[in-house]
Structure 1
Amino acid sequence: MSIGLHYSSGYNSALAEVLPDTHLFDIAKYGHALALVESRLGAERVAPHLRPVTEEVSHTELCLIHSERYLQALETPSVVARALEYPPVEQLSAELVDAEILRPMRLAVNGTIAAAREALMHNRLAFNLAGGYHHASRDRGEGFCLYGDAYLSIVRLRQEGLLGTQDPVLYIDLDAHQGNGMARLCAEHQDEQVVLLDLFNTDIYPQDRVAQQRVDRAVPLISGMTDRTYLGLLRAHLTRAMASVKPRFALYNAGTDILAGDPLGGLNISEEGVRERDRFVLQTLRAAGVPVAVVLGGGYTPQSHRLIANMLCDALMERGESDGAGGACG
């Protein structure tokens, strides 16, 4: 069974060439992750899975979940700077902000929609090698997130008739941070068909208690949590969620900021623990025959791109699609 890797070189902003290299978010990690997968498995083996993302999400589509006033506000560099928590952006022209920040994110949003569409149309696993902007809500961008790509993909799939309005969707958020924007969007749209499972460090940003009320399975974690406890909680809660929901489709935010040493995540999960997390989630969903789209979420260490590559490699290898390149994934 084929696996789709939705990607654009446009995801990798050239902003680092313009501003001081002080921002925690590696805006080129998507390309680094793909290059590492290609080096491990061979570019010729990866190429059949690549799905080029060539178009941005449209303004009309963004208006399905965001207000016109908010989208217009993003034309002001200071608004974007606050959402990115990066004051130097205020000094840039609106044109440069659009080209190097907003456009890459609009491409990534379209990548999430495309990955979700492929997963549902062909009952398979599909990745968007970006996305996971789970802090963005209708009228606000924050926490490095400007557009609500995951929820918008659900809305678009319903519009296209690939998802019925009563089809249950399971959204699994394993980024270290609470996915408050996704929860707020579901609440604002009174969307009870999207079931939210969110494991997050309760000691850190955003601590959004209003958003948490909408989360069906909120699993607060404590700073410093290690592999055994974390994986035990994940296994228990995902198993229960699958038993109660029986989803038609699943979205998985595979944030890598749970890694020990991440400056923003506050957890203490080993690299192998992150890898086991991703294996368990994807194997559980696919064993149940659930189409899955994966977005990458946050990750603020130099190892983040390697963790992403581990997940992609493991998925490709498990499906028997690496032509026997056994240990190449290590």
Structure 2
Amino acid sequence: MLTPADKERIDRFVAKIRNAGSDEQRMHMAVLTELSTIHRRVNPKTGEPYAPTTNRSLITDYRNVIKAELGEDAPVLEKFKYSAARVTEYRQHQQEQREERHRNQRPLNAQEHIERAVALLNYNAKVRWSNAAAIAGVVALTGRRPYEVGCVGGFEPDPADASRVLFSGQTKTRETERAATAYSIPVLEERDLALEAVARIREEVDPALDNKTYSQRFGKEVGIVAKRTFTDADGQPITPRELREAYAAVAYRKFASRKISEVQFYNEVLGHQGTDLNTSLFYFAFYVNDSNELQ
């Protein structure tokens, strides 16, 4: 999500490009200066350079604003992008992150995780309603993204299986048809409770909110609820994004046939591209350490 400072800087850059007009040399120098500044930024909280993933995301935000302000065919877009060297750096960073996750998975007590989610939704429904708590609870039980739960996701009972729902409205996909297509996913427990929570969320939260506005209104609070409610077996808090990863680990332990590999199961329940397992490899953050099988 863009900070006010980011937005202000992007607006200044767009103004420079607009003022450059047809002066290609002037535009080229403005692009080089801006890209250099982006890649040299330092996180004030850590004193360390920002990760390639963060810089790439910011460059994408720049490009989106440029397209909106100057048009989809603006000449500057040919220059303001990741260089081949930066792409290589980004891919290397992604690979290192993935390897780090696979070598350092976090322990998770699945039954306790499920019980915390159910208790959160029950308290929320019967004692004191909170949109943020409802979103966090449904994310934990279904593995959907907070924005999908809060606004755009469709959740219907799967008539073929009482433990599953038909989900549609997946975000973070470029395939419009696939995003609109419903597919079946398991709910870790208390399907009806999760569906009731979603129904009330739809009454309380405007489903037309874009992702940015949703994040501004609910992102921080959902994060607070998630980290306060859910922890791994070492007591470390679990963030909303990590709830999706925890869901996949628990769902595999509870629902998967022993014949299916974890990566294939993750691919299916998380709604990733059917023929590409690479994305799912980034979701192996937890391993279930319950001594007994789940109920």
TM-score range relative to shorter protein: under 0.3
Q: Which of structures 1 and 2 has the bigger CA Rg?
A: 2
TM-score by length of 2: 0.28
TM-score by length of 1: 0.26
